[in-house]
Amino acid sequence: MKFREIYCSNCKKILGRYNTKYYDYEKINEILKSGHSLHVRKGHQVIIRDFIKKQN
């Protein structure tokens, strides 16, 4: 399965993981602006990166 992660480089922490089937970049950017704006205001570098979870 393909996911996109919101990742904070300063905290070295995943803030959220979203399935690409349901969330495109625009929706993830809206989530980033509303839900994780505190990290951005503090000056943290927040990135959106792709993540592939392997199925067993």
pLDDT at 26: 92
- pTM of the predicted model as reported, rounded to 2 decimal places: 0.78
List, run by run, the mean pLDDT of 10-residue segments along the chain (56 residues). 91 92 92 85 90 80
pLDDT at 53: 83
pLDDT at 39: 83
Domain with 18 in it: 2-52
pLDDT at 35: 83
pLDDT at 19: 94
pLDDT at 23: 93
3-class state of residue 4 by DSSP: strand
Residues near 8 by beta carbon (within 8 Å), at least 6 away in sequence = 15, 36, 39, 44, 45, 46
3-class state of residue 24 by DSSP: coil
- Count of domains observed in the chain: 1
